[in-house]
């Protein structure tokens, strides 16, 4: 499968950490997408991500938001960004400038400074690739290690929106078979595919015992990663998850589980069970977010409830993300 490495490989990779100093607050972890160091009374959070395989006009947007989202779900405010822009030999200057303008616009909107970067053309590069690192600051980072048994699992965002966005741009005929209007609808939803705003609002409005944002592997990888990072289990009610109708119909037609569909922009948050979740939900929804309580954390087992029956929660290895297959399908 294309995309982020399997968890088994990441467990091996994150053993190689160089020389860790006493300032490191969050070292490399196979289930986390950012690290952190303590520095002069603050915690500085670092996240890096590639952006590729998206429409050229949106490449700068995603180059900013993929890394910034990983910083924001750690409870940190993005402050600085660096970029490496790798272009194929035939890419004109306007391609590089379009990417730079896209990063600049988002960085300006969120009060982030672009501090350095690299841009070049290379024979081995077939399409534009942008790798960014975002540095943020927090007084105390929020990680899944803070989560406790009994915390409610709050889901913010639209699961599977990333897959529908990708299909709308690169294989719209699949969506047209579901609904002729779908490609036009989902082509314009890049604003759904960032976790920055949702994570900032959650950290502002409530006590949060851990957040993580979605990406490849959808909710299946997201929930398993959160459990791995917190050393806890969970129970999730699939019937409560707000999948778009188009995603459900597409899953039936193409034979995939909507829970595995790429879901950048979704935030999973552990909220203490004694907090007034109804008020928090109303507050987040008043800010334009789709918010659902989908389950709670428990000590060990990972379970999925559906239609009144309970079974073991699947792993990403058992249920792969359909994104690569569907994007390539004719």
CB count in 10 Å sphere of residue 77: 17
Q: What is the CATH architecture assignment of 144-328?
A: Alpha-Beta Complex (3.90)
Q: At what angle do helices 59-72 and 93-109 cross, to 10 degrees?
A: 40
Mean pLDDT of 306-312: 96
For position 53, what pLDDT does the model report?
92
User: Could you tell me which of 185, 256, 172, 184 has the C-alpha nearest to residue 220?
Assistant: 256
d(C-alpha 185, C-alpha 137), whole Å: 36
> Do residues 137 and 92 touch, judged by C-beta distance below 8 A?
no
Query: For the segment 256-270, what is each residue's pLDDT rounded down to a tens digit?
Result: 999 999 999 999 999
Q: What is the mean pLDDT of residues 219-247?
A: 98
- For residue 54, the SS3 value is coil
Sort residue 147 into left (φ over 0), alpha (ψ -120 to 50) or beta: beta
Task: Indicate the SS3 state at residue 24.
Answer: strand
- Which numeric CATH code is attached to 7-138? 3.30.1330.10
Tokens of 148: 């406790």
Residue with tokens 């507050």: 283
Per-residue CA distances from 253 to 161, 205, 285 (Å): 17, 40, 31
Which one-letter DSSP state was computed for residue 319? S
Q: What is the pLDDT of residues 27-65, one digit of tens each?
A: 999 999 999 999 888 999 999 999 999 999 999 999 999
Question: Could you tell me the residue ranges of all domains in the chain?
Answer: 7-138, 144-328
pLDDT digits (tens, 9 = 90+) for 170-183: 999 999 999 999 99
Asked whether 132 and 103 are in contact (CB, 8 A), the reply is: yes
Q: pLDDT band for position 7 (50/70/90)?
A: confident
pLDDT band of 3, cuts 50, 70, 90: confident
Q: Are strands 35-39 and 113-121 parallel, antiparallel or unpaired?
A: unpaired
Mean pLDDT of the chain: 95
pLDDT of residue 2: 65
Neighbour-count burial for 12-51, b at 16+ CB within 10 Å, e otherwise: eeeeeeeeeeeeebbebbbbbbbbbbeeeeebbbbbbbbb
Share of the chain above pLDDT 90, in %: 93
Asked if 101 and 64 count as a contact pair (C-beta separation under 8 A), the reply is: no
Q: What is the percentage of the chain residues whose pLDDT exceeds 70?
A: 99
């Amino acid at each position: 499968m294309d995309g982020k490495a399997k968890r088994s490989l990441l467990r091996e990779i994150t053993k190689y950490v160089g020389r860790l100093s006493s300032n490191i607050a969050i070292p490399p972890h196979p289930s986390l997408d950012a690290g952190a160091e303590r520095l002069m009374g603050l915690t500085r959070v670092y996240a890096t991500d590639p952006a590729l395989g998206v429409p050229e006009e949106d490449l700068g947007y995603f180059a900013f938001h993929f890394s910034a989202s990983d910083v924001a779900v750690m409870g940190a405010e993005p402050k600085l960004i660096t970029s490496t822009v790798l272009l194929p030999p035939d890419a004109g200057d306007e391609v590089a400038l379009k990417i730079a303008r896209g990063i600049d616009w988002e960085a300006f909107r969120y009060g982030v400074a672009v501090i350095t970067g690299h841009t070049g053309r290379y024979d081995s590069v077939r399409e534009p690739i942008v790798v960014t690192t975002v540095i943020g600051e927090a007084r105390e980072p929020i990680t899944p290690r803070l989560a406790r048994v009994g915390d409610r699992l709050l889901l913010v965002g639209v699961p599977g929106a990333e897959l529908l966005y990708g299909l709308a741009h690169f294989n719209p005929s699949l969506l047209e078979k579901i609904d002729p209007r779908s490609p036009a609808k989902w082509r314009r939803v890049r604003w759904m595919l960032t976790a920055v705003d949702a994570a900032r609002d959650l950290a502002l409005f409530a006590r949060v015992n851990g957040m993580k944002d979605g990406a490849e592997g959808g909710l299946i990888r997201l929930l398993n990663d959160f459990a791995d990072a917190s050393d806890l289990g969970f129970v999730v009610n699939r019937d409560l998850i707000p999948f778009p109708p188009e995603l459900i119909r597409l899953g039936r037609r193409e034979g995939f589980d909507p829970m595995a569909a790429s879901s950048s922009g979704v935030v999973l948050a552990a909220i203490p069970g004694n907090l007034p979740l109804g008020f928090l939900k109303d507050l987040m929804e008043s800010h334009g977010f789709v918010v659902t309580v989908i389950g709670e954390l428990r000590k060990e087992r990972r379970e999925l409830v559906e239609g009144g029956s309970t079974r073991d929660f699947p792993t990403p290895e058992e249920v792969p993300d359909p994104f690569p297959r569907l994007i390539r399908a004719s």
